[in-house]
């Protein structure tokens, strides 16, 4: 699968997904400091699912009705980076088909997947 990782994600998460043979562009390696609008545009141009821990993307997608190929919002506070990477990788591997065209939230207790209406 193709992903665009927002710069707010730890590089270990990006590396873990690359180990699983996912194509992952990483904003921190490309254009650090770009706006959320540009990040979302990049993900859409590449038909990549956006990985982020920034809740502002929920507002862009739902309130402002910005089109998205898919967004995975990561809400895993207090966990080690290695634990986060494993949870994210497992979620992607188990739900990969469902993630495209959806807004997904990963929390320690649940995975919520909501289809986007474009």
* Per-10-residue mean pLDDT, the chain, length 118: 96 97 97 94 95 93 87 96 96 94 95 87
Do residues 111 and 75 make contact, with C-beta atoms less than 8 angstroms apart? Answer: no
Do residues 76 and 87 make contact, with C-beta atoms less than 8 angstroms apart? Answer: yes
At 52, phi and psi to the nearest 5? -155, 160
Do residues 84 and 10 make contact, with C-beta atoms less than 8 angstroms apart? Answer: yes
Give the ranges where 4-109 is alpha helix by DSSP (H). Answer: 11-19, 27-30, 36-45, 56-58, 81-99
pTM over 0.85: yes
For the chain, what percentages of helix, strand and coil (3-state, to nearest 5) are there? Answer: 40, 20, 35
Q: What is the pLDDT of residue 65?
A: 85
Q: What is the pLDDT of residue 103?
A: 95
Q: What DSSP state is assigned to residue 106?
A: E
Q: What is the pLDDT of residue 118?
A: 57
Do residues 3 and 51 make contact, with C-beta atoms less than 8 angstroms apart? Answer: yes
Domain ranges of the chain: 2-115
List the CATH code of the domain at 2-115.
3.40.50
Residue range 24-53, pLDDT digits in tens: 999 999 999 999 999 999 999 999 999 999
Separation in Å, CA 69 to CA 84, 106, 116: 23, 17, 9
């Amino acid at each position: 699968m193709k992903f665009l990782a927002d710069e707010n994600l730890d590089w270990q998460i990006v590396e873990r997904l690359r180990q699983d043979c996912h194509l992952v562009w990483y904003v921190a390696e490309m254009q650090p400091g770009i706006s959320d609008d540009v990040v979302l545009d990049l993900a859409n141009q590449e038909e990549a699912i956006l990985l982020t821990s920034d809740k502002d993307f929920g507002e862009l997608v739902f309130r402002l009705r910005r089109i998205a190929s898919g967004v995975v919002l990561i809400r895993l506070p207090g966990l080690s980076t290695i634990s986060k990477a494993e949870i994210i990788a497992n979620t992607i591997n188990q739900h990969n088909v469902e993630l495209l065209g959806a807004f997904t939230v990963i929390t320690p207790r649940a995975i919520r997947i909501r289809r986007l209406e474009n």
